[in-house]
């Protein structure tokens, strides 16, 4: 079975952590015997501009074709209309989706790519995938990478024709976490809805364990070192809540701890100001963005991983904390629930509940032996989350829903789709 995978994110030399789950899933598909071609479709920006502006580093990737462990990866860019005041957002979104789809179709024709199904990473790429799949007569599958709350809270957006076509045309949606499985039915048509399949992210356990094994032995003593690893572009990552909770620790007389924030983004100046206003200057360190291996080392060197993100679909970094044998604090009704077993491998708190968050931090700080026990249990629990298991879920679903009369792209029907 041949898969044409569409994605806007993929690891690169510019940003090695972006799209790691996509790359790992692609390789697992190949290992499972599927033929995978991945089209990485990024917004176009002059290369020299993308290189100089941190927010656009992910776009500083040259077009090209590589073979990565059995996966054919085609990197390309498409013209993209940025936000323009007074221009209807609906028009801009529709235009950009069609520009992305047109680029994908052109690549298929130029490179003579063939497939039995289209798979798209995320809703936005899925909208372009729907155009491609319809033009080529192929079934469409979508993996949901983000929390669905923003769509559920925007019924007017979801009611637009492009979204209605997406939710009715897709053969199956793969959800990487239980929160998505809970929310997705609210977006699907009442009659003949697409399949919803739980397919949690896997963990590249061997690679991560080999990296962790190179770190110096962890100091045996528990010294209250807390860490979070996250981009600081999204408010929902919960770093603000962490700082408010830590102020409560100080007010309770709990001051023997230090918090390290790994990551960068537009909220960093605001967070740095909060640290000063809350009187946490001597307790908090910002490292900025770090390469993945260095961020992993920060988790390893800590005693507690705390990231109360309240719109988290899965949370790969929680899995990495588990492999480092660190207890984690995360939010209920979110993806980390799959990794954090309450009271066994970490603690769960209500989203945006600063009081509960402070209680959880206080408990782990006051019970170091319990925290270390949870960390060891987390390392055992996470072993089940393998990419091989996840790839088999996809393969079984593909074979079930894309079977029957063989549907595939040929140069002839692709040319007709482009020009007819």
- pLDDT tens, position by position, 354-372: 999 999 999 999 999 999 9
Q: What pLDDT shows up at residue 413?
A: 38
CATH number of the domain located at residue range(s) 2-202+386-419 in this protein: 3.40.50.2000
Please state whether beta strands 172-175 and 195-198 pair in parallel, antiparallel, or not at all (unpaired): parallel
Describe the chain by its helix, strand, coil percentages, rounded to 5: 45, 20, 35
CA distance 197 to 143: 9
For residue range 196-221, list pLDDT tens digits in order.
999 999 998 999 999 999 999 877 78
| Confidence tier at 276 by pLDDT (50, 70, 90) | very high
Provide the pLDDT for residue 167. Answer: 92
Torsion of the alpha carbons at 108, 112, 114 and 120, rounded to the nearest 10: -20
Mean pLDDT, residues 120-140 taken together: 95
What is the pTM (predicted TM-score) of this model? 0.84
Sign of CA dihedral 270, 272, 275, 278: negative
Does the pLDDT value for residue 181 go beyond 70?
A: yes
Confidence of residue 15 (pLDDT cuts 50, 70, 90): low
If you compute the radius of gyration of the chain from its CA atoms, what whole number of angstroms results? Answer: 22
Domain residue extents for the chain:
2-202+386-419, 205-383
Q: Give the whole-angstrom CA distance, residue 416 versus residue 419.
A: 5
168 pLDDT more than 60: yes
Q: One fold for both 2-202+386-419 and 205-383?
A: yes
- Of 13-27, 71-85, 286-300, which one has max mean pLDDT? 286-300
Chain-centroid distance, C-alpha 153: 20
- 8 Å CB contact between 73 and 65: yes
Res 384: pLDDT: 93
Read off the pLDDT of residues 376-410 as tens digits, 9 standing for 90 and up. 999 999 999 999 999 999 999 999 998 644 333 33
Average pLDDT, whole number, for the chain? 90
Task: Give the distance, in angstroms, between the CA of residue 309 and the centroid of all CA atoms in the same chain.
Answer: 13
Q: How would you class 317 by CB atoms within 10 Å of its CB: exposed for 0-12, middle for 13-18, buried for 19 or more? A: buried
Q: Which CATH code for domain 205-383? A: 3.40.50.2000
pLDDT in the model for residue 209:
94
Q: What is the DSSP string of 17-49?
A: STTHHHHHHHHHHHHTT-EEEEEEEEE---HHH
Number of H helices, E strands in the chain: 17, 14
Cβ-contact 339, 405 below 8 angstroms: no
Rounded CA-CA distance 400/214 in Å is 43
Please report how the helices 123-136 and 161-169 are oriented relative to each other, as an axis angle in degrees rounded to 10. 70
**Residue 105, pLDDT score:** 97
pLDDT at 362: 98
Question: What kind and span of H or E run contains 188?
Answer: none
Torsion, Cα 319 324 327 329, to 10 degrees, reads: -40
User: What's residue 186's pLDDT?
Assistant: 92
**What is the arithmetic mean of pLDDT over 96-108?**
96
Q: Which helix (H) or strand (E) holds 342?
A: none
The candidate with the shortest Cα–Cα distance to 80, out of 102, 63, 95, is 95
Q: What is the DSSP letter of 217?
A: P
């Amino acid at each position: 079975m041949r898969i044409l995978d569409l994605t806007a994110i993929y690891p690169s030399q510019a940003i090695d952590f972006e799209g790691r789950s996509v790359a790992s899933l692609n390789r697992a598909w190949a290992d499972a015997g599927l033929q995978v071609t991945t089209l990485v479709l990024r917004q176009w920006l002059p290369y020299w501009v993308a290189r100089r502006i941190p927010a656009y580093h992910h776009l500083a990737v040259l077009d090209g074709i590589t073979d990565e462990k059995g996966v054919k990866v085609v990197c390309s860019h498409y013209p993209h209309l940025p936000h323009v005041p007074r221009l209807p957002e609906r028009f801009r979104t529709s235009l950009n989706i069609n520009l992305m789809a047109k680029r994908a179709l052109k690549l298929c024709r130029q490179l003579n790519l063939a497939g039995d199904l289209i798979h798209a990473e995320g809703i936005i790429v899925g909208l372009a995938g729907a155009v491609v799949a319809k033009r080529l007569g192929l079934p469409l599958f979508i993996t949901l990478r983000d929390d669905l709350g923003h769509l559920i809270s925007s019924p007017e957006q979801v009611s637009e024709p492009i979204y209605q076509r997406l939710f009715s045309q897709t053969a199956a949606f793969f959800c990487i976490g239980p929160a998505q499985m809970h929310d997705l039915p609210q977006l699907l048509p009442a009659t003949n809805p697409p399949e919803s399949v739980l397919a949690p992210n896997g963990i590249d356990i061997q690679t991560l364990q080999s990296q962790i094994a190179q770190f110096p032995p962890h100091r045996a003593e528990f010294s209250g070192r807390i860490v979070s690893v996250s981009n600081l572009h999204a408010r929902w990552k919960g770093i603000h809540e962490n700082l408010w909770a830590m102020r409560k620790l100080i007010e309770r007389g709990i001051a023997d701890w230090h918090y390290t924030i790994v990551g960068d983004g537009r909220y960093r100046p605001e967070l740095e100001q909060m640290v000063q206003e809350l009187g946490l200057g001597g307790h908090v360190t910002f490292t900025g963005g770090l390469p993945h291996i260095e961020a992993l080392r920060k988790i390893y060197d800590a005693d507690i991983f705390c990231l109360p993100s309240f719109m988290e679909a899965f949370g790969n970094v929680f899995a990495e904390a588990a492999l480092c044998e660190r207890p984690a604090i995360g939010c209920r009704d979110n993806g980390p629930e799959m990794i954090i077993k309450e009271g066994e491998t970490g603690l769960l708190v209500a989203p945006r509940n600063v009081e509960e968050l402070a209680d959880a931090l206080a408990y782990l700080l006051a019970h170091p032996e319990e925290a270390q026990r949870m960390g060891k249990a987390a390392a055992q629990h996470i072993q089940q989350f393998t990419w091989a298991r996840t790839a088999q879920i996809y393969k079984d679903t593909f074979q079930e829903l894309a079977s029957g009369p063989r549907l595939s792209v040929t140069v002839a029907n692709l040319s007709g789709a482009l020009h007819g």
